[in-house]
Structures are given as structure tokens and as C-alpha cells.
Amino acid sequence: MFSRSCISLLELASGEMLNFPQTPRALTKVMTLQGVIPDAKNSDGVNNEGVNVPPSEICEKKIIVANFLPLHAQKDTKSGKWCFSFDEDAILFPLKDGFSSGTVVIFVGSLKVDIEASEQEEVSQKLLEEFNCVPTFLPFELQKKYYHGFCKQYLWPLFHYMLPMCPDHSNRFDRQLWQAYVSANKIYADKVMEVINPENDYVWVHDYHLMILPTFLRRRFTRVKLGFFLHSPFPSSEIYRTLPVRDEILRALLNVDLIGFHTFDYARHFLSCCSRMLGLEYESKRGYIGLEYFGRTVYIKILPVGIHMGRLESALNHPSSSVKVKEIQEQFRGKKIILGVDDMDIFKGISMKLLAMEQLLQQHPEFRGKVVLVQIVNPARSTGKDVQEAKKETYSTTRRINQVFGFPGYEPVVLIDRSVPFHEKTAYYSLAECCIVNAVRDGMNLVPYKYIICRQGTPNMDKAIGFASDSPRTSTLVVSEFIGCSPSLSGAIRVNPWNIEDVADALNVAITMPALEKQLRHEKHYRYVSSHDVAYWSRSFMQDLERACKDHYRKRCWGIGFGLNFRILSLSPSFRKLSIDHILSAYKRTNRRAIFLDYDGTIVPESSIVKTPSPEVISILKNLCSDPKNTVFIVSGRGQNSLSEWFAQCENLGIAAEHGYFIRWSSTSSWETSSSAIDFEWKQIAEPVMKLYTEATDGSYIETKESALVWHHLDADPDFGSCQAMEMLDHLENVLANEPVVVKRGQHIVEVKPQGVTKGLVAQKVLSMMISKGNAPDFVLCIGDDRSDEDMFESISSTSYNPSQPVAPEIFACTVGQKPSKARYYLDDTVDVITLLKGLAADSSLKPRCNWEIQAPFENIM
């Protein structure tokens, strides 16, 4: 896919590119409880100038980054000064309850009001000192393009499964809006950099507004402790893949240490996108899901957010709530209340909820005059034609229902379209017989949780309602199966919101449900909601983030890639690129050399259509083999016929085919086979199983070798192929449990081969033979690129050394590609491999072979 993201990241995100004015100067210092943290200067995030205390004594901070700060802002008309207070309804505000008491929590985000440029400096200082908040002042035009443009008119609909097919309902991708999104993320990242001590602090980024921010932070601090939580749905790969900047966003998210989702469905879609678009596979290890990404493990956490119990209970005990409860009781005396609380947008399913109410009254005339739907409509969070159309439809449907089924003193639908105070909502929650959340797609939706807690009540609320304190509590929920809280509410009546009849039937069941069943369902929900509150959620996420970051300083890290393709390569401290000068120096001073080379992906590119070796490769191998000091082997999984034909010109080249089942010491010697595998009756069992999966998996095929069977699924659907491979692995292990074979899963393959046939045993055999002949190697080079070569890397380290040798041999185990490996060295690609071998071949003398050339029966060693 053509991508323009290769443009310089800093240039793309700079204000100058979009002609936006600069934000106020950086905050110079942040005072913590035990010291002063200055601006970070170097790549490790350490600056010794002006530090009052050692880094180990600096108080740990949790930096919470979100689009908006959890603050209310109002300007005093008399003094002209800004007044601020915490917004206790904001989901971010109670996060601190899940942290230890000594933790300093700093919030980074924008204000919901415009602050004049001349006032921004003063406001920044006030918010930092009094609220531990760092505001990001986005220029008006940037805010418009970033938030109202790219976030709300493009990303938000797309993540809710709405493709921009029609410009009337959502915007199509606009490169300028994307650039504004990146620029805004850069400003947020800059603000984090002003307050972070990267060695001690943890950064927690929230929601789809800031998905690019991790790249900026990781680029600045390679070992920053970084988590991200997505509060919206993550769409399936079929939807997400339509995003023109899909790879850039995925790679940015993979720059964090822990990614959180509300449900497994959202996590599964993300993992599927990583597999299909980036070729990454995930593994589940002891209950944790992890993605291996350039030597780092990016962990996935699945945990829905909870509610703030204290805030709800406080509202229930507020005198205003008691007053409102009595008003509502009087207004709806003798009627059962069905409650809906939703934002005004096209995904909340308000109109379909109204149609279900209409269907209920049509099918059950006995409910007329006895059941009321109270629909509270929260103000829309975005503007646009779609919101206006949804509002228009809601009003017209409400009017029709009330005209058809209403009569004096009774309105079936009561629409409350205004900003409703929290205490008033709690009053409605407390009195509602049933709560319905009918969204067609929603990230989490905490309305059902709030309803459950309010129905549990408090002594003050019980008194206002007239409940006895020991009376059983009941609640009934009708929830859409497409919202994030649905999986955690196993006692709710789940519905498909698109099926109007189904929703109407669910409402009927909820209203007529026996009291005991309502009580049992309520008790089950209350136990979960009360124990999984927002403090539990934040504490659990932070614990997993700390665990995910524990290996940060055990590995060496390098930043690689340009622009938004930047990522971190994390490798063992002993793992480094193999220098040609270094190995050539060892090559020149040694006399008994063993060289083992893999074929595919090592001396021939894995992606190459032409699999035969090039004339250059043949020439290099001939020169290496002609040196009497060298014993050179090609060790491959390919068959003996192909390898012997391709390397016919290399007379002194040893070949191990089919992972060592066949071995030949030179072109003049005969092929030897492993004595450990002479019975192939197992093929009659394995092949029918493989054929079954091949027929069911389009794009897969079976490769039949003399000693093995290999099922390839490289050209199959990535998700389905991977799923079938795991299933086949389990199937074959069961049916071949009593056979002398091993079943292994490799890169896009499942292979069945005899036991005791590995590349590691080939290396062990060759090295052991050299030692037994009195020619113990003083130089061993092994190069390979996949899992099967790891056996060789391990084997040469344990076999090469002879205790009688005065000096240990020079060992060079080298993998192709920068990835975790048992090898100590790496080369970037096959080009590097050929370059290195060419350098060694050039130094080799062209003397005839010595007479000690190894000739031994294969079975004597294996």
C-alpha cells in the first residue's frame, strides 16, 4: 500500500506545517513531594543539571493523558479570573483511587473552554500548582480539524462500524485532518515530556483521540513506561483496513507496553489487524496475551471500566435526590418506569428503542396507561447532519407514539432533552422498574452499572422512596449485545437492537418478571459492579503495566524507522550485529574452521520467487570449500534432489537435507540417512489428516518429503490459516501420540518429521567428527534465519569445545534479522550474509583439500 507517512515525523507534526501558532513556553520544573524534576534532555530521559535529589529518591508519578482534563472551568465576570474545579463525573478523575496513597497523579489534556493566549501562562501555572493538571492549549483551527474533524467525523464513525460511503453522514479521509490529528498528538506528547521523569514515572494514555502519541514519547524516551486504553470499540479488520493510515496507527499503538480493551471482541479485532496487516502473531502465556514486536512484548489487557461507587452513593444521599424522587413518584404514580439514558447520536439506538416501545404497546394493550418510557437525552458530543437527523427522528417518533397511545394524564414516552443534573438522574435510576440500553454500537456504556447501584439504594434514598431497609432489592436490564458492558452483565436480557420485535418482547419479559428472579439477577449484578469499580480497574491496569515494564532495563534498545513507522528494537545486551572486520580477523588467525549455512532466508531471500542459488552464491561457496582449512555445510529443510542439483558445482560442499535426515559430505560421497527413522507408516496416519485441513483451508497445500510431511498456509487467510494450524497441531499430536515422530509448528507451516532429526544434531555430528579426527575446530560460524536454526546455535556452543584444547574456539552464531534468538549476533538480511561470506571467501587460499576430509557412517553418530 502506498503510504505518505515516510515524511519526517517532527516536520509533519510541527505547528509550522499547518501554520498553527506555537503553544506557550514549556513548564520549566515540576515539584513533587520529594524533589524537583527538570526538563529531560537526553535520549535516556536523564538530566543531572538542577536535580535536587538522586533519581532513585524521586517520587513516582502516574501521568494520565486524555483529550480533556477532568475539570470544570468558569470565568468570574467580576474579577475576570478563571475558576476551576474537578469534574467528579469525568471517568479520569477517580482513577487515582486505585493508586497507592504516596502516588502523585498528574493529568495532561485540554480544557473544554477557550483560553486567551495572554492568559494561558497564568492558567497553566494555576492548574499545575492547585490541581496537578497540565493543559494543552490547541489553537482554534487545529482543535477544529483535530477533534471535530478527524476524531469525531472520521475515526469515531469508523470505529463504530460506519464507513464513509456517503459524505452526508461522515467525512471521507482528508489528509489535512490527519495532519492536524498528528500535530495535536505531538502537542500532547510535548506536554508529557515537560513533566515526566522517564526512569520512574508511568504514562497512561486514553482513547482514540491520542493513538499516535505513543510514537512521539517512545521516540524521545526509549524506555518510557507507557500504557494505552481504548474506551471505544475497535472495529473488525474488514472495517479497519479501509483506513488509509491503518499501519501508522497500529505501529503507534504497538509502541506502548500495555494496551487495554473493554472486551475480548475489541482485543480480538486489534490482534487480527496486527496479524493481517503487520504479520504479527500473538501468544497467550499463563493468562496474559502478548504480541512479540521487534524484541519487545506488547501485552493486551481485557477489563471493562467500572464506576465510582463513592460518587454515586454521595449523589443518592444528597437532599436534592430525595426531593426529586418524591416529585417523580408523584408524577408517575401507579405507573412502571422504563428508563433510557443516552447521548444524542446515531449509534445509541434511541429511535429503535422508541419503536420497540411502540411495538410493546401494540402487542400488549394492558400496558397502556401503566408503563412509561422515560428517555433522558444527554447533549450531543459532536455536531453534524447525522446528529440533527437522529434528533429529528427521535422527536417525530415520540410525537406519533404519544398521539396514538396517549390520553389525558398519560404520555407513553417522556422525552427529557436537556442537561440533567446527576442527582436527578440518580432519582430516575432509583425508581425505574427496568433500564434499557439499546445502542447499536458502543464502547462500554456505564448506564447499566449506575442503574444497578442506584437500585441497591442507601438509607437516605430508601427513606425518601418509602422502602424498608431490609426489603429485597430488584432490578431488570435490557441491554444491546453490541455494547462493551454486555459480557459482564450475565443476568441482563440481551437483545439485538436491530430486531424491534425482539426488543419489545424483552421489555415485556423485564416488566412481568417475577420478583424473586428480579432479586436474584440484581444481586448477581451488584456483586460484580460493586467489586469491579473504577478503582479496581485502574489498580489492575497499573499492576499489569508495571509487570509489562519490568524488563525495560534488561535489554538494549534502539530506535529504528522513519516518521510514524518509528519503533523500538529491544535485544539482549550480548546480542549485536556481526562485524565483518571482527569475524575476518578471527577467520585469518584460525586453521580449522566449520561453517554451517541455512538456505532459504539466509543465502536466498525468503520472498524470492526464484529459489535456485545465484551464480554469485555458487562462486562464494566454491571459494570457501576450496580452502583446506574449511568444512562447509548447507543445512536445509529442502529435499536432497534439489540441493544436490543446485550445488553440483561445489564439489567439496557438505549438504544436510530435510533438516539432517539426509547428509552428504561432498559431491563424491553418497547420501547417508538417519538410522533413527526407518519406519514411515506414520505417514498413512498423518497425510489423511493434513488433506482434510487442506481441503477446508483455501490457499494451503501439503509438501511431501521423503522423511517428513509439511502443511503450508502462507497463502491462506492469516487468521483462518493460523487457527487451522493450531487445530491441526493438536489433532496430529493426538493421532500420532504413539508414533516415533514430532509435530512442530513453524512460520506458516505445520511439520511432521521423525524424532531425533534436527539441524542441531547435524552440527553436533560434524563437529564431533572433526574432534575425533584430531581436528577440533578453532572457528565455528553458523548462520540461519528461522526456528529450526536455533537448534544449531545451541548445538555449536555445547559441542565445539574440546577440553584438551588450550584455547576455546571462536564461535559465531548469527541469525538473519533483528529478533530474539539464541544467537549472539545478527545480520540484517541475505544481502549482509552474502557480503560477509564474500569477504571470507576472498581471504581463503585456493589450496587443494587435505586428506583428513571426514568420511563416516551417519548411523555411528546419530
Give the confidence band of 17 by pLDDT, cuts at 50, 70, 90: very low
Do 488 and 621 fall within a single domain?
no
- pLDDT for 599 equals 93
The predicted-structure confidence for 753-769, as pLDDT tens digits, reads as follows: 888 888 988 999 999 88
Instruction: Report, as an integer, the average pLDDT of 572-598.
Output: 89
Please report the pLDDT score of residue 32 as a whole number. 39
Residue percentage of the chain with pLDDT more than 90? 62
Indicate whether 334 and 468 sit together in one domain: yes
Whose CA is closest to 400, among 410, 413, 409?
Answer: 413
The residue behind cell 460506519 is 162
Indicate if 436 and 361 belong to the same structural domain.
yes
Rounded to an integer, what distance in angstroms lies between the CA atom of residue 810 and that of residue 780? Answer: 6
- State the pLDDT confidence band at 36, using cuts at 50, 70 and 90: very low
Q: Are 292 and 339 members of one domain?
A: no
Task: Read off the C-alpha cell for 862.
Answer: 546419530
With helix as H, strand as E and coil as C, how does 365-404 read? HHHCCCEEEEEEEECCCCCCHHHHHHHHHHHHHHHHHHHH
- 348 and 423 in a single domain? The answer is yes
Separation CA 651–CA 657 (nearest Å):
16
Whole-number mean pLDDT of the chain? Answer: 86
Q: Is 179 domain-assigned?
A: no
- Gap between the Cα atoms of 650 and 841, Å rounded: 13
- Of 501, 532, 563, the residue that ends a domain is 532
pLDDT at 42 over 50: no
Confidence grade of residue 288 (pLDDT, cut at 50, 70, 90): confident
User: What are the cell numbers at 318?
Assistant: 444528597
Tell me: do 192 and 214 sit in the same domain. yes
What confidence tens digit (pLDDT) does each residue in 765-821 have? 999 888 888 888 999 999 999 888 888 998 887 776 666 666 788 999 999 987 778
Q: Is residue 365 part of a domain?
A: yes
Residues 346 and 402 in one domain: yes
Please state, as a whole number, how many other Cβ atoms lie within 10 Å of the Cβ of residue 365. Answer: 9
* Model confidence pLDDT, tens digit, residues 222-278: 999 999 999 999 999 989 999 999 999 999 999 999 999 999 999 999 998 998 888
Task: Tell me the CA distances in angstroms from 849 to 594, 596, 630, 672, 778, one per residue in order.
Answer: 14, 18, 9, 22, 18
Indicate if 73 and 125 belong to the same structural domain: yes
What's the confidence (pLDDT) of residue 557?
82
* Cα distances (angstroms) measured from residue 617 to each of 197, 666, 830: 51, 17, 11
Q: How many domains is the chain built from?
A: 4
Which 3 state secondary structure label does DSSP give 276? Answer: helix
pTM given for the model: 0.77
The answer to whether position 148 is within a domain reads: no
* Confidence band of 832 (pLDDT split at 50, 70, 90): very high
Instruction: Look at residue 58 in the predicted model and tell me its pLDDT.
Output: 54
Look at residue 102 in the predicted model and tell me its pLDDT: 83
Distance CA 616, CA 594 (A): 21
Asked if 361 and 367 touch (Cβ cutoff 8 Å), the reply is: yes
Query: Alpha-carbon distance 225 to 550, whole Å?
Result: 9
pLDDT at 858 over 50: no
- Average pLDDT on 634-658 reads 91
**pLDDT-above-70 percentage for the chain:** 89
Per-residue pLDDT at 657 exceeds 80: yes
Q: Range of 668's domain?
A: 576-675+758-845
Q: Domain with 710 in it: what CATH number?
A: 3.30.70
Whether 256 contacts 210, CB under 8 Å: no
- Would residue 211 count as lying in a domain? yes
Q: Which of 238, 267, 302 is the last residue of a domain?
A: 302
Residue 16 is assigned to a structural domain of this protein: no
- For residue 639, pLDDT over 90 is answered with no
Give the CATH number of the domain where residue 480 resides: 3.40.50.2000
pLDDT of 510 above 50: yes
Last residue of a domain, one of 754, 779, 804: 754
pLDDT tens track for 351-369: 999 999 999 999 999 999 9
With bands split at pLDDT 50, 70 and 90, how would you rate the model's confidence at 857?
very low
- Start-to-end Cα distance in the chain: 49
For residues 531 and 58, the model is more confident at 531
CA distance 790 to 815: 8
pLDDT interval class at 851 (50, 70, 90): very low
pLDDT in tens, 403-462: 999 999 999 999 999 999 999 999 999 999 999 999 999 988 999 999 999 999 999 999
Q: Is residue 173 included in any domain, yes or no?
A: no
Residue 607 has pLDDT above 80, yes or no: no
| Spatial separation of the C-alpha atoms in residues 59 and 484, rounded to whole Å | 36
Considering the domain architecture, whether residues 499 and 434 belong to the same structural domain is answered as yes
**What CATH number does residue 619 fall under?**
3.40.50.1000
pLDDT score for 676: 59
Regarding whether 615 and 492 lie in a shared domain, the answer is no
pLDDT value of position 19: 47
Task: Supply the pLDDT for residue 415.
Answer: 96
In a domain, residue 286? The reply is yes
Query: Do 453 and 489 reside in the same domain of the chain?
Result: yes
Q: Give residue-wise pLDDT tens across range 179-222.
A: 999 999 999 999 999 999 998 999 999 999 999 999 999 999 99
**Burial class of 33 by CB neighbour count within 10 A (0 to 12, 13 to 18, 19+):** exposed
Considering the domain boundaries, does residue 234 fall inside one? yes
The secondary structure element, H or E, covering residue 819 is none
Same domain flag for 337 and 207: no
Q: For position 33, what pLDDT does the model report? A: 36
